[in-house]
Structure 1
Amino acid sequence: MSDTEDTSAPKFLGKDTPLPQSPETAVLDYVPNPRAGSLYMVRFAAPEFTSLCPVTGQPDFAHLVIDYAPGETIVESKSLKLFLGSFRNHCGFHEDVTVGIGQRLADEMNPQWLRIGGYWYPRGGIPIDVFWQTGAPPEGLWAPDQGVASYRGRG
């Protein structure tokens, strides 16, 4: 066994890892892109995302869709799941939460391109959809529609 730790190995995968107390304390884990140099898109869907209203403290619910074209690294999915779960006790407006998640991933992972769609369920009768991306997708990237319909109620 080596005295040096392998920093490219996932930190959380296969380990019992508690949910972080806040997004600020959550650690996102990145590993080398196994297809570096290839243009492809990765999609994560979190249909049961929750955070808290910063005014009332009541829960807010969203369906998040994160699409990205990897650069040199990819985000390890368990660390992303733990990061997203850390918002359960976090107070923030829909816009701040959605854009903040996208910006953190873009800043830390440095993908070729990233977009996030936050499809928030109605509170007070108004659904809010929030979209953010790093820029235009790279030429030749297949970036399908996120597939989440606008909220139409029960009707």
Structure 2
Amino acid sequence: MAHTDTSGLTQLGAQTAAPQSPEEAVLERVPASHKGADYMVRFTAPEFTSLCPMTGQPDFAHIVIDYVPDQWLVESKSLKLFLTSFRNHGAFHETCSVEIAKRIVDLLDPKWLRIGAYWYPRGGIPIDVFWQTGPQPAHVWVPDQGVPTYRGRG
């Protein structure tokens, strides 16, 4: 059985304060245990929050991140802290969504990554943001993200 090397991590297993901004947040990675095997990893953050850059009011989203690792995996505690760092961050939905994806891509250099950011309505209009690094791998099972189109109470 493969063992994941966690020796370089600074946050896992330690008391770690929530970062105050995405720039301050430290995303960490661990070596992928199954190098050469193509598989998909999914992270779901159903209670993501950020701030409207114009009003300072909170915005809420259900975010789904799918990726096919190459040499690295994102360490999940650091990802949670990174996503939490947006709570005090003012940015438009599109900016938050793509910034999250690009930061993970810069860290991992995965074979493929996509993000689906399903934002709850602001001003009565929900905004969904989708971004990916390239074509979906044909030989990897990539399930639907399972987030329905916003319907309100109906």
What is the TM-score when the length of structure 1 is the normalising length?
A: 0.94
Using the TM superposition, give the Cα deviation of residue 151 of structure 1 relative to its aligned residue in structure 2, in angstroms. 0.3
For structure 1, which runs of at least 5 residues remain unmatched after alignment? 1-5
Using the TM superposition, give the Cα deviation of residue 136 of structure 1 relative to its aligned residue in structure 2, in angstroms. 0.6
Identity across matched positions, percent: 67
Q: Please state whether the residue corresponding to 1:122 is helix, strand or coil.
A: coil
**TM-superposition CA deviations, 1:96-133 (whole Å, max 9, x none):** 00011001111121000000000000011000000000
**Matches of 2:52 and 2:13, distance apart in 1:** 33
Aligned pairs, number: 150
**Matches of 2:144 and 2:52, distance apart in 1:** 28
User: In the alignment, which residue of structure 1 is the partner of 2:72?
Assistant: 73
User: In the alignment, which residue of structure 2 is the partner of 1:137?
Assistant: 136
* One-letter amino acid of the structure 2 residue matched with residue 89 of structure 1: N
User: In the alignment, which residue of structure 1 is the partner of 2:34?
Assistant: 35
- Shift of the 119–100 alpha-carbon distance from structure 1 to 2, 3 Å rule, reads same
For structure 2, which runs of at least 5 residues remain unmatched after alignment? none
User: In the alignment, which residue of structure 2 is the partner of 1:99?
Assistant: 98
User: In the alignment, which residue of structure 2 is the partner of 1:154?
Assistant: 153
User: In the alignment, which residue of structure 1 is the partner of 2:45?
Assistant: 46
Using the TM superposition, give the Cα deviation of residue 10 of structure 1 relative to its aligned residue in structure 2, in angstroms. 2.3
Instruction: Compute the RMSD of aligned alpha carbons.
Output: 1.2
**TM-superposition CA deviations, 1:17-65 (whole Å, max 9, x none):** 0001100010100000011110000000000000000000000000000
Using the TM superposition, give the Cα deviation of residue 82 of structure 1 relative to its aligned residue in structure 2, in angstroms. 0.1
**TM-superposition CA deviations, 1:66-123 (whole Å, max 9, x none):** 0000010000000000000000000000000001100111112100000000000001
**TM-superposition CA deviations, 1:6-25 (whole Å, max 9, x none):** 98432211110000110001
Asked if the contact 1:8–1:32 (Cα under 8 Å) also holds between the matched residues in 2, the reply is no
What is the TM-score when the length of structure 2 is the normalising length?
A: 0.94
**Matches of 1:86 and 1:73, distance apart in 2:** 22
**Matches of 1:63 and 1:31, distance apart in 2:** 25
User: In the alignment, which residue of structure 1 is the partner of 2:61?
Assistant: 62
User: In the alignment, which residue of structure 2 is the partner of 1:17?
Assistant: 16
Q: Please state whether the residue corresponding to 1:106 is helix, strand or coil.
A: helix
